[in-house]
A and B are shown apart, each in its own frame.
Chain A
Amino acid sequence: MQIVVKNIAKDYGKRFNAVHAIKDIGLEVKHGEFLGIMGPSGAGKSTLLNIISTNERPDHGQVLIDGIDMTGLHDKEQAKYRRNKMGFIYQSFELLDSLNVKENIILPMALNHASKRLIEQNFKHMTKLLNIEGLSKRSVDDLSLGQKQIVAAARALINSPEILFADEPTGSLDSKSATILLNYMQLINDKEKTTILMATHDAFTASYCSRVIFVKDGVIFAEVVNPGDRNKFFEQIINMQRTIGGGSYFNVSQNN
């Protein structure tokens, strides 16, 4: 197991109007797994990802990655871990306004003091692949939401991270860009054995995963494993969503 989550819980806010974002979640993720996390808005998906990726500390419980207890690590070591092993596509993109598109994308490599040649090479490869070569000199402020998301994805992937955290990575994308991105994620998952944790409320996006867990009100509600056929998996996911109820929350995508 690469990632082991043991009974974590997280509350937000003060005692009397506290929000139990995560009540009690335990989870194991294998190396090279492509895990989907589904659930309605406010279910705690982002919080779960943030805790596993050490961006937030849980109130209770432990997160082990490669056998190391991340919750016990010092701030500095956590940051080092994030920088070296993890890639992030955040729901709110988290791009830096001061930097232009190119600088945003190559920032993780620069932080790791990669060589100039390697940086340029990876950058070219990444932008070509995601079809954003034209954007490189643009300011982040001027981009559309979809463009921002694809730039955020390029930044997450340029470093070939061992673990990729993707929070609604296709939420703002058109179907073509979404398909390109998801295919690429599947590719690196296959070829480079990148472990991927992806939160989504979209059944089509989730159908790329090898396993999907359903979160509701801060607990894991159900789990569906990919039988090897994406269409069939897609059906299963939709069915599960119906069973959970509150289907109105879900935005069932029809493009496949």
Chain B
Amino acid sequence: MFLKIIRRSFYNMKDSYLIYILSCSFAVGMFSILLSLVDNPRLKSGISSWSASLNNITLGFSVLFIFCVFVYMGFVGGFFIKQQTNEFKTFEKFGMSRWTVIVIGFIQTFVVQLISWLIGIIIALIFQKFFGMLLLYLMGVKTGFMFRFTGNIFSMLWQICLYSTIVFSIMNSFRVRRLLKKNKDKSERTPRWYIRLPGGIVGILLFISGILVTVILFGDVKDSNQTAAVAELSFLFVAYLAGTYLMYYGFLPSFLTILQHTKKIAYAGINMFSFKYFKERLTKNVSILWFITELSSLALILLSFCYFGYKSIYTNYAYAHPFELTANQKTVDPIKKYLKENKSQITRSYKTTVKTTVIQRGSNNEMLPGTFISYSDYQKLPKSNIARNPRITKKEFLVLDFGYTVPGYASDKSNTAVVKVKNAKTIKTNKIGSAFPYGSTMYQGLMIVAPDKYYQKLKPEVRNTFYGWFFKDGDRLTHKQYEKLNKQEYTSGVQIKKAANLADTKMTTDTDRRNSSDTSVYMDSNFSRQKNAKVQVNQISGFGIFIVAMFSVSLLIALGSVLTLRLLLRDDSEWKQLKTLNKIGVSKSEIKEIVKKETIYSFVIPIIFAVLQSYIVIALLDRYPKTTMVIPFILINLGYIALYGIIGFVTYLISWRSVNQKLS
């Protein structure tokens, strides 16, 4: 009897259970894989430089992941209990003791959870190797991945499974108990319009003011007005959260009510029914729609952050290492020797002499080394090294600097740099770039490209020559060789001896590294090698891509399945109404239309508000010119919407399938 009831409930909701179990198993599988990667020896040996922190990071992510999974399971598990309200009540009416009904609820949940975990762990066993290989591939680590699942991990997974299953089953038992106790109170479920309408209006106002404040935020972040920005962000947080909820709660139902009272629209065809039906479904799902909107916008914001974070790592790397190998006048001889020894095949080599003197920039008159390069030398450099900088004519100055947000640096006109130079004319230019042609680590302070005449006249404190090479098949430097290059004898730098004014300030070459904590000492790199940095950049970004992809796919599946389940789980009266419509002459294709519209609204409305909210991210990421951010941002949004749309479409198909089955 018991088993029969449980079996029937599984059968009746088989589509929904299938979706739930699949998404849970996927999540459990991902979690198990992450957890098992924590102490995988191959992952440790492949990454020497940061393997210790990698373990902790992976562990941290798996804890975060399983936490989200638990929230999902707890939340969605309740849908199934709610769905069976009528059945449970009938069981009780038929004389089943309340306890028995509660036990039925317990067993149902227990079985579903256990199955999800079992499938999840099997998924992990099957796909661990695949994901491990994927991770190593993304990180650019060449060693092969080895399947490894320790008993330790197994017993840990088993314990988490058991405890969580018991907790969720008990949770659902409580839900059943509350269901049986509660008598239906209709007036509580559908608040009147005079509560909804003001709520909705407040919601809209909040949301619109949120959008306006985002625009203001742009300005404040740009002027680095921190207190204002923090205040605006906290306002945005409240306004968007509350505004969206109130809008779903108040505005959309009121809007439908107005449509429904506009007889011209409401009296035309199926509208009379569909408006009311949408409204009923909407009011039941307000908190879910809200939940999905906010999570989606969070996901969009995080994705954008990750993308731009990745990009900034990458640009830093490109700025630091434009040549495969770079040397200065101190290291050029040994490097040339090594290259000869190693029979490295040089494809292109470059050489530029530069002059360094003291310069002053910003309203605080900060003194820095400024390295000058002549216009004609600059033009001889490879295009790829200077392509990111603005173009200049032979009479213009170009200032290369990361510090363009220094207050007062830009003079009266924004985007105009003013740089005072010792014993030379003050430079004023609106050409500001940040691609240092020999890499940003080879010289400290600013680099300035000057017209040839200015350059020739300039009396430098220090002179230097830079060398850059490209190779076929890499530079072939051995570990020993580049260890040697780091030695003291090859080290160089400058020290600024400050005086009251720029003319009296002196600069000397300083080769003593012990002074390097002194803020007036600027140490240069002895050489710069692309390959070293490349490995680490690849590893970090590969790991990042792996985690971000995993989280976003899981999030997408979670959000999608919540919506799908909400749409699928219609209660008895909703089913009956669709059937009745068919009986009095509404064709199936018109009912299909209702199902379609319902799916579209449930998916489109949250994504619209989510996208509007996620626009904050452009204001917050201040590193880049806003215009260059728009396209990646749009692409990220489009990608998300596309995936989300696919889920919506599948939902529609499943939803219609289940309606169609019940109709015939």
Chain A residues with a Cβ under 8 A of chain B:
55, 75-76, 78-84, 86, 88, 90, 94-99, 103, 106-111, 113-114, 116, 119, 155
For the complex, give the distance between the alpha carbons of A235 and B270 in Å.
Answer: 46
Are the CB atoms of A76 and B577 closer together than 8 Å?
no
* Minimum C-beta distance from A155 to chain B (A): 8
Among the listed B268, B272, B584, B589, which residue makes an inter-chain contact with A88, where contact means beta carbons less than 8 Å apart? Answer: B584
Q: Apart from A97-B573, A110-B269, what 16 extra A-B contacts exist at CB < 8 Å?
A: A76-B587, A79-B582, A79-B585, A79-B587, A79-B590, A80-B587, A82-B585, A83-B587, A98-B273, A98-B277, A103-B272, A103-B276, A107-B272, A107-B273, A108-B585, A111-B269
How many contacts between A and B, using CB within 8 angstroms?
78
Contact with A along B264-280 (1 / 0, CB 8 A): 10111111110011001
Specify which chain B residues have a CB less than 8 angstroms from the CB of A113 in the assembled complex. Answer: 268-269
Are the CB atoms of B272 and A79 closer together than 8 Å?
no
Specify which chain A residues have a CB less than 8 angstroms from the CB of B272 in the assembled complex. Answer: 99, 103, 106-107, 110
Are the CB atoms of A98 and B276 closer together than 8 Å?
yes
Determine the main DSSP class of A at the interface with B. helix
B514 within 8 A of A: no
For the complex, give the distance between the alpha carbons of A94 and B273 in Å.
Answer: 14
For the complex, give the distance between the alpha carbons of A229 and B279 in Å.
Answer: 53
Within 8 A of A (CB), among B244-287: 263-264, 266-273, 276-277, 280
B580 within 8 A of A: yes
Find the residue from A55, A84, A97 having the highest chain B CB count within 10 A. A97
* Minimum C-beta distance from A92 to chain B (A): 9
Specify which chain A residues have a CB less than 8 angstroms from the CB of B583 in the assembled complex. Answer: 55, 82, 88, 90, 94
Are the CB atoms of B267 and A83 closer together than 8 Å?
no
Are the CB atoms of B269 and A83 closer together than 8 Å?
no
Specify which chain B residues have a CB less than 8 angstroms from the CB of A80 in the assembled complex. Answer: 585, 587
Find the residue from B264, B280, B577 having the highest chain A CB count within 10 A. B577
For the complex, give the distance between the alpha carbons of A94 and B581 in Å.
Answer: 9
Among the listed A86, A95, A96, which residue makes an inter-chain contact with B585, where contact means beta carbons less than 8 Å apart? Answer: A86
Are the CB atoms of A76 and B585 closer together than 8 Å?
no
Are the CB atoms of B586 and A76 closer together than 8 Å?
no
Are the CB atoms of B582 and A95 closer together than 8 Å?
no
CB nearest neighbor in B for A118: B267
Specify which chain B residues have a CB less than 8 angstroms from the CB of A98 in the assembled complex. Answer: 273, 276-277, 280, 577
B588 within 8 A of A: yes
Number of interface residues, chain B, beta carbon within 8 A: 27
Chain B residues with a Cβ under 8 A of chain A:
263-264, 266-273, 276-277, 280, 573, 576-577, 580-590
Find the residue from A78, A98, A113 having the highest chain B CB count within 10 A. A98
**6 A-B pairs whose Cβ atoms sit less than 8 Å apart in the complex:** A79-B590, A82-B583, A96-B577, A107-B272, A111-B269, A119-B267
Given contacts A76-B589, A80-B587, are A97 and B269 in contact (CB under 8 A)?
Answer: no
Among the listed A75, A78, A116, which residue makes an inter-chain contact with B267, where contact means beta carbons less than 8 Å apart? Answer: A116
For the complex, give the distance between the alpha carbons of A75 and B582 in Å.
Answer: 10
For the complex, give the distance between the alpha carbons of A90 and B583 in Å.
Answer: 9
For the complex, give the distance between the alpha carbons of A93 and B19 in Å.
Answer: 35
Given contacts A98-B577, A116-B264, are A111 and B587 in contact (CB under 8 A)?
Answer: no
For the complex, give the distance between the alpha carbons of A84 and B584 in Å.
Answer: 10
For the complex, give the distance between the alpha carbons of A119 and B268 in Å.
Answer: 11
For the complex, give the distance between the alpha carbons of A81 and B585 in Å.
Answer: 7
CB nearest neighbor in B for A77: B587
Specify which chain A residues have a CB less than 8 angstroms from the CB of B276 in the assembled complex. Answer: 98-99, 103
Find the residue from A79, A81, A95 having the highest chain B CB count within 10 A. A79
Specify which chain A residues have a CB less than 8 angstroms from the CB of B264 in the assembled complex. Answer: 116
The 4 closest A-B pairs by CB, nearest first: A83-B585, A79-B587, A82-B585, A98-B276
Find the residue from B264, B584, B590 having the highest chain A CB count within 10 A. B584
Specify which chain B residues have a CB less than 8 angstroms from the CB of A75 in the assembled complex. Answer: 587-588
Among the listed A79, A82, A84, A99, which residue makes an inter-chain contact with B273, where contact means beta carbons less than 8 Å apart? Answer: A99
CB nearest neighbor in B for A83: B585
Specify which chain B residues have a CB less than 8 angstroms from the CB of A119 in the assembled complex. Answer: 267
* Minimum C-beta distance from B277 to chain A (A): 5
* Minimum C-beta distance from B533 to chain A (A): 64
For the complex, give the distance between the alpha carbons of A31 and B334 in Å.
Answer: 111
Among the listed A82, A114, A116, which residue makes an inter-chain contact with B584, where contact means beta carbons less than 8 Å apart? Answer: A82
Specify which chain A residues have a CB less than 8 angstroms from the CB of B273 in the assembled complex. Answer: 96, 98-99, 103, 107
Are the CB atoms of A116 and B263 closer together than 8 Å?
yes
CB nearest neighbor in A for B588: A75
CB nearest neighbor in A for B582: A79
For the complex, give the distance between the alpha carbons of A75 and B586 in Å.
Answer: 10
Given contacts A82-B584, A96-B577, are A106 and B267 in contact (CB under 8 A)?
Answer: yes
Are the CB atoms of B268 and A96 closer together than 8 Å?
no
For the complex, give the distance between the alpha carbons of A79 and B273 in Å.
Answer: 17
Among the listed B271, B277, B584, B589, which residue makes an inter-chain contact with A83, where contact means beta carbons less than 8 Å apart? Answer: B584
Specify which chain A residues have a CB less than 8 angstroms from the CB of B585 in the assembled complex. Answer: 79-84, 86, 108, 111
For the complex, give the distance between the alpha carbons of A106 and B276 in Å.
Answer: 15
* Minimum C-beta distance from B184 to chain A (A): 11
Specify which chain B residues have a CB less than 8 angstroms from the CB of A78 in the assembled complex. Answer: 587
For the complex, give the distance between the alpha carbons of A235 and B588 in Å.
Answer: 45
* Minimum C-beta distance from B510 to chain A (A): 83
For the complex, give the distance between the alpha carbons of A110 and B586 in Å.
Answer: 11
Are the CB atoms of B269 and A79 closer together than 8 Å?
no
Specify which chain B residues have a CB less than 8 angstroms from the CB of A79 in the assembled complex. Answer: 582, 585-588, 590
Specify which chain B residues have a CB less than 8 angstroms from the CB of A111 in the assembled complex. Answer: 269-270, 584-586
Specify which chain B residues have a CB less than 8 angstroms from the CB of A86 in the assembled complex. Answer: 585
Among the listed B266, B271, B584, B587, which residue makes an inter-chain contact with A94, where contact means beta carbons less than 8 Å apart? Answer: B584
Are the CB atoms of A110 and B589 closer together than 8 Å?
no
Are the CB atoms of B573 and A83 closer together than 8 Å?
no
For the complex, give the distance between the alpha carbons of A134 and B586 in Å.
Answer: 28
* Minimum C-beta distance from B355 to chain A (A): 83
Are the CB atoms of B267 and A97 closer together than 8 Å?
no
Given contacts A75-B588, A83-B586, A107-B273, are A96 and B581 in contact (CB under 8 A)?
Answer: yes
* Minimum C-beta distance from B611 to chain A (A): 31
